[in-house]
Amino acid sequence: MPLVILHDVGYAKVPKDNPFKLDLRKAHMKAGAKIARKILTELNYPKNKVDKIVNYISIHDNWAFGQNDIYTKDKILGTFSDLDYREL
């Protein structure tokens, strides 16, 4: 559930612009991973789960960069395809 809630939180820390711009996508994933780690750590979420969630947030829009295989190879990330992934 934290992955679903936090996956786009990084948009709060990047310039307001077209979210389909690739540099903005990359920036929001990086910022979102940092924000998610801070929030989940402060909530004393289990470290192993924090690491996994942060990793997923840091790559959840990689489909926009042509890296579609991560969604079919990783069962958890593939389950959350509604986070933004679309089969191209």
> In this predicted structure, what is the pLDDT of residue 67?
85
Q: Phi and psi for 76 in degrees, rounded to 5?
A: -70, -50
pLDDT digits (tens, 9 = 90+) for 39-79: 999 999 999 999 999 999 999 888 888 888 888 888 877 77
Question: pTM of the entire structure?
Answer: 0.84
The chain-wide mean pLDDT, for the chain, equals 87
Give kind and range of the element (H or E) at residue 49. helix 47-59
pLDDT band for position 12 (cuts 50, 70, 90): very high
pLDDT of residue 83: 57
How high is the pLDDT of residue 68?
81
